[in-house]
Structure 1
Amino acid sequence: MSCAFFKEDGETGEFMSYSRFAIYYVPPEGPLATFGATWLGWDILRGATMPQFNVPGLDDITMTPRKYGFHGTLKPPFHLKPGQTQAALETAVAAMASRIAPAICDGLRLTPLSRFLALTPYGALGQLQQVAEACVRELDDFRAPASASELTKRRAAGLTERQDALLTRWGYPYVMEEFRFHLTLTGKLPEDAVPHWTTVVVRDLPKLPRPFVVNQIALCGERRDGRFELIHRYTLAG
């Protein structure tokens, strides 16, 4: 279901509606955000395409994460429950953010996760876990239940008993204690390609933040073209 028109699309001049919403960490304006937009070819902050780094094969390996933009997921994408509105969701996110304390980790580092590459935090992660759990729990009244086809698709990946229970309860299997914060850089890579792309990423990465501070959350929406863009940021002030 799409919500009411919200804002003008920077590329077409048309007003956008959103089919799904998500709560993300989106890096603030600066070298890391610019790197992420240029690496993926999509600027989630402006809702606009970006020329990618001139690297052979980069377009192919970033095709999957491109639509979501450079981000770390806190509450996974969801459809609005019938009867809920974007305006009510924005109000709830603002109220929640006012009660949540910022999260501080030691830093970010490049990590191979199975067969894809991502930036992941290190050090004490409890505060970041608390932010994500609050987003999942406190905004769940806005989430339409996952459809049977969505549940089937998730289960096809092979879930543990606990992950399946989380999927049933929260609409996504990798939340709560299964949550692992990451900013995705690639889709699944051939195993023998991981070292090559690790080298390429390291070459283009800016200096990564130390410490890594999550002091804002971002409400993002999925546009009609299937790509996500920033709707509004909220400062964590608890």
Structure 2
Amino acid sequence: MRYALYFTPPEDHPLSQAAQNWLGSNPFRDGVFSQATVPGFAAEELRDLTADPRRYGFHGTLKAPFELAEGRTEAQLLQALDAFSADCAAFEIPEMTLGQLGPFFALVPQGECAALRAFADHLVLGFEPFRAPLCEADIARRKPDELTQSGRTNLMTWGYPYVFEEFRFHMTLTGKVPADRRAAMRAVLEDLFGAFIGQPLPVDTVALFVEPQRGAPFSVHSLLPLGGTSKRKISRYDR
């Protein structure tokens, strides 16, 4: 079992619905969902190009997937997340845009968001006691020789290269898109996610995702509102 702390909008948020239509998956629910039919992309090609974000579920990473440290339990993790969410005020990313991280496409903030960075930094630090050290295979999968010195240090210290000064918030929409397909992919995504591009995005929840076994789809275990826990939503996973 691995756990991850992510941001994802509530299931009924229009962005979550758009992501379900695009990826053909919903991390709040089990089952197979129909995927959008888009011009210029065959169904099989689109399925392949969205395989990775479909498995991980639509989200923005705050604390990357981790196994629990020895002596820690899921109940303790959830209790800590309850307390964390109660202490954190909701905020807003002023503007989202369609970004490209090398061959990947994602929704990203347009410019720096100090509140988002502080939120992520606080969470990474606060939940580090729950993270078991990475095994050698997990370290190798991150290709440390290809990381910056800061990224390598982060990987060994925090279990993920892209924290603190390396943090780049992104809500992934594709896997690696071949160079000759990127212009067409951008046009499709600008159309399907146009309602969210150039608009603010409220960050008023934090989600606990789970991966029951390596390679399985991630799903939402719990979605907790920031600023209080009275409206905590529990997914199908732990009902």
Tell me if both proteins adopt one fold, taking TM over 0.5 as the criterion: yes
- The answer as to whether partners of 2:2 and 2:65 remain within 8 angstroms in 1 is yes
* Stretch moving more, 136-145 or 33-42: 33-42
Unmatched 5+ stretches in structure 1: 1-18
Unmatched 5+ stretches in structure 2: 229-239
Is residue 229 of structure 2 the alignment partner of residue 226 of structure 1?
no
Match of 2:237 in 1: none
Report how far residue 111 of structure 1 moved.
1.2
Is residue 205 of structure 2 the alignment partner of residue 216 of structure 1?
yes
| Structure 2 Cα separation of the partners of residues 36 and 223 of structure 1 | 22
Is residue 125 of structure 2 the alignment partner of residue 149 of structure 1?
no
SS across alignment from 2:188: helix
Cα distance 1:38–1:175, how it changes in 2: closer, same or farther (>3 A)?
A: same
Report how far residue 207 of structure 1 moved.
1.2
Is residue 123 of structure 2 the alignment partner of residue 96 of structure 1?
no
| Structure 1 Cα separation of the partners of residues 144 and 159 of structure 2 | 15
Match of 1:47 in 2: 30
Amino acid at match of 2:35: Q
Report how far residue 168 of structure 1 moved.
0.8
TM-score w.r.t. structure 2 length?
0.87
TM-score w.r.t. structure 1 length?
0.87
1:78-136 CA distance string (max 9 Å, x none):
01112111110000011111122223221211111211110011244110011111111
Report how far residue 43 of structure 1 moved.
0.3
Match of 2:227 in 1: 237
Report how far residue 230 of structure 1 moved.
0.8
1:40-72 CA distance string (max 9 Å, x none):
121012233211012312101001211111111
Cα distance 1:157–1:45, how it changes in 2: closer, same or farther (>3 A)?
A: farther
| Structure 2 Cα separation of the partners of residues 37 and 190 of structure 1 | 23
Cα distance 1:88–1:63, how it changes in 2: closer, same or farther (>3 A)?
A: same
Sequence identity, in percent?
A: 37
| Structure 2 Cα separation of the partners of residues 203 and 153 of structure 1 | 34
| Structure 2 Cα separation of the partners of residues 233 and 125 of structure 1 | 22
Cα distance 1:148–1:86, how it changes in 2: closer, same or farther (>3 A)?
A: same
| Structure 1 Cα separation of the partners of residues 166 and 30 of structure 2 | 30
* Stretch moving more, 31-40 or 203-212: 203-212
Equivalent in 1, 20, 37 of residue 37 of structure 1: 20
Q: Equivalences for 1:129-168 in 2 at 5 Å? A: 129-156=117-144, 158-168=146-156
* Stretch moving more, 158-167 or 219-228: 219-228
Amino acid at match of 2:98: L
- The answer as to whether partners of 2:93 and 2:113 remain within 8 angstroms in 1 is yes
Report how far residue 155 of structure 1 moved.
2.8
| Structure 2 Cα separation of the partners of residues 83 and 47 of structure 1 | 30
| Structure 1 Cα separation of the partners of residues 31 and 91 of structure 2 | 29
Cα distance 1:26–1:48, how it changes in 2: closer, same or farther (>3 A)?
A: farther
Amino acid at match of 1:230: V
Amino acid at match of 1:27: P
The number of aligned residues is 220
Report how far residue 203 of structure 1 moved.
2.2
1:120-154 CA distance string (max 9 Å, x none):
11244110011111111101111100011211221
* Stretch moving more, 129-138 or 102-111: 102-111
